[in-house]
Amino acid sequence: MKSVQSVKTGTGKARSTQSTTSSKARKQQAAARVLRRFRIVFNAVKSHFRDIERRTGVGGAQLWALSIIAGTPSVGIGALAAAMDIRQSTASNLVKSLIAQGYVQPRKGEQDRRTTLLTVLPAGTAILKRAPGPFSGVLPDALGQLAPEILDRLDQDLGTLIAALEADTRAANIPLADL
């Protein structure tokens, strides 16, 4: 039989050290379960990006950008950035790489010469044909399949986790493939 000791709390009430220990153990077990789930999510994302790079030779963010450009002929860099939920400077860097590799062709807008419009070249189309889907990545695709109330709860709970981590929120607009 276990012995239960009473411990005086600051309020003068007694509580058992056994219940305190079991509460700590439950909290540690719950934290370990959640950590394992994060590992599963991170591994799925990492494996998908590795598979993309192995099959195509381009990174996940480049593939996503390429797919948006292919699906939206004459898209501009600002619209590409908005579609990927990234900064315009990040989208511009992705596009520069795609142009250098011969996957995308830029041209100046007819009405606004400051605007750069993008078109996928045959080499870019060939990359898309070899690439495993989803082009946006497995995590954005999975999140898109969840019910709004689940997404709201995840958003709130992850906000709490981000606050506990004291994480730099500027990382919110960096593509996962670039982390």
Per-residue model confidence as pLDDT tens digits over 71-130: 998 899 999 999 999 999 999 999 999 999 999 999 987 777 778 899 999 999 999 999
**Which sequence spans correspond to the domains of the chain?**
16-178
Give bridge partners of residue 15 from the DSSP assignment: 7
Are the CB atoms for 60 and 48 separated by under 8 Å?
Answer: yes
Are the CB atoms for 68 and 80 separated by under 8 Å?
Answer: yes
Residue scoring higher pLDDT (128 or 9):
128
Rounded Cα distance, 154 and 44, in Å? 18
CATH fold of 16-178 = Arc Repressor Mutant, subunit A (1.10.10)
Is the pLDDT assigned to residue 9 strictly greater than 60? no
DSSP-derived secondary structure letter, 22: H
The pTM of this model reads 0.75
Are the CB atoms for 77 and 91 separated by under 8 Å?
Answer: yes
Least confident of 17-21, 25-29, 59-63, 129-133: 17-21
